[in-house]
Structure 1
């Protein structure tokens, strides 16, 4: 087993007033040569956007971009003509492919929108851009990992151009859950959204992350009520 730990307080940070963002991996003006990526996982940003504010129209290409709202309503518009609002209990994916412009805005005028944005390097270049969003509210299974993203169009949740699987879990204190890896030469990156867990002989608290490779499965034990994002990523 190999592991790398990223504590909450070691993340990159940018406070732009309208945007408060924490970066697990190198992003924008934050650069750490030891924290560029974990396998195909390139970006894990923890963002809070002030009421009515947002990101203006900007370009992306050849990246799989996944947004997971934690609270509030996030409005999306893009150059393909897609318009949508996602909120807690939804997941959104955008395959930027050969090029796309999009904007994101806090739909609310009275509270922040908080969300995780994840970028994964694709396994196909210059594909036709695509957008999708879906509700994952009905997928939740107490004290188990439940899938929200995969490489397969027919699978539960959304899909991307990469051999990656994302799962969420809400564990009650004292419970544990096992995750079995699906691919060879893969690792898992576990991000603690809320609470505290023990995994791989480490104690992780709110907004801590751990990347683990050279394993076939992991066992996660909740020492507090917790919410987790687990990402199985190819190397």
Structure 2
């Protein structure tokens, strides 16, 4: 089993006043040649956005974009929809940029900061018709068990959102003292594990809040929760 540890304080950080951004991988003004991507995972940004602020209209193409609000109110508008879409904590949003799309993202609250993860994954199909979707996921369904959020559009998995890549995004909330065995789709896949909060042991390595580990070249691995913990799994092909 191969592991790559990314401690939370090793991430790139940008303070734009209205935006506090942590970059797990090279992004914007942050560049680290050892942190360009993990397999097909290109971006994992951990953003905090001030009230009423956000990203103005900007373009994307040929990228699968997943947004997971953690606190506050996200409002999204794109060239496929003229009206603002509200995305709340507990929901997940996906957008296949494909042949090209314009979108805006803002904090929809007048007084509360917006916290979110934004994830970019390289697609396995180019120039697809852009598409958008969002879905609410019940937190009780990930209590000490895996909850699948996103899968490939080519897979018959009814309860998940879809993207154009053989990837799986999932979450689990583990009680202190619980263990869990994560099984990968194949040994050609790797999984990037972000500790949303808490403290866990993976392969004997301790991970605390916002620490991450990339795991590859294995069929499965064990996780032990040393404290109440929440984990995000981003499983992707390592070659694409």
TM-score range, shorter chain: over 0.9
In structure 2, the residue matched to 1:22 is 22
Per the TM alignment, residue 141 of structure 1 is displaced from its structure 2 partner at its CA by 3.0
Within a 5 Å distance, the mapping from 1:75-94 to structure 2 comes to 75-81=75-81, 83-94=84-95
> For structure 2, which runs of at least 5 residues remain unmatched after alignment?
none
Per the TM alignment, residue 200 of structure 1 is displaced from its structure 2 partner at its CA by 1.3
Q: Secondary structure at the match of 2:9?
A: helix
Within a 5 Å distance, the mapping from 1:185-200 to structure 2 comes to 185-200=188-203
Alpha-carbon distance change, 139 to 66 in structure 1, aligned in 2, over 3 angstroms: farther
Within a 5 Å distance, the mapping from 1:84-163 to structure 2 comes to 84-137=85-138, 140-152=141-153, 154-155=156-157, 156-163=159-166
Report if aligned partners of 1:68, 1:115 keep a CA contact under 8 Å in 2.
yes
CA distance in 1, matches of 2:78, 2:128: 16
Q: Deviations over 1:114-169 (max 9, x none)?
A: 00000000000000000000001267231111111100464222010000001101
> For structure 1, which runs of at least 5 residues remain unmatched after alignment?
none
CA distance in 1, matches of 2:43, 2:139: 27
In structure 2, the residue matched to 1:215 is 218
More divergent stretch after superposition (224-233 vs 136-145): 136-145
In structure 2, the residue matched to 1:51 is 51
Report if aligned partners of 1:189, 1:210 keep a CA contact under 8 Å in 2.
yes
In structure 1, the residue matched to 2:227 is 224
CA distance in 1, matches of 2:180, 2:21: 30
Q: TM-score, normalised by structure 2?
A: 0.95
Aligned residue pairs total 235
Report if aligned partners of 2:96, 2:131 keep a CA contact under 8 Å in 1.
yes
Displaced runs of 4 or more, over 6 A: none
Q: TM-score, normalised by structure 1?
A: 0.97
CA distance in 2, matches of 1:110, 1:206: 25
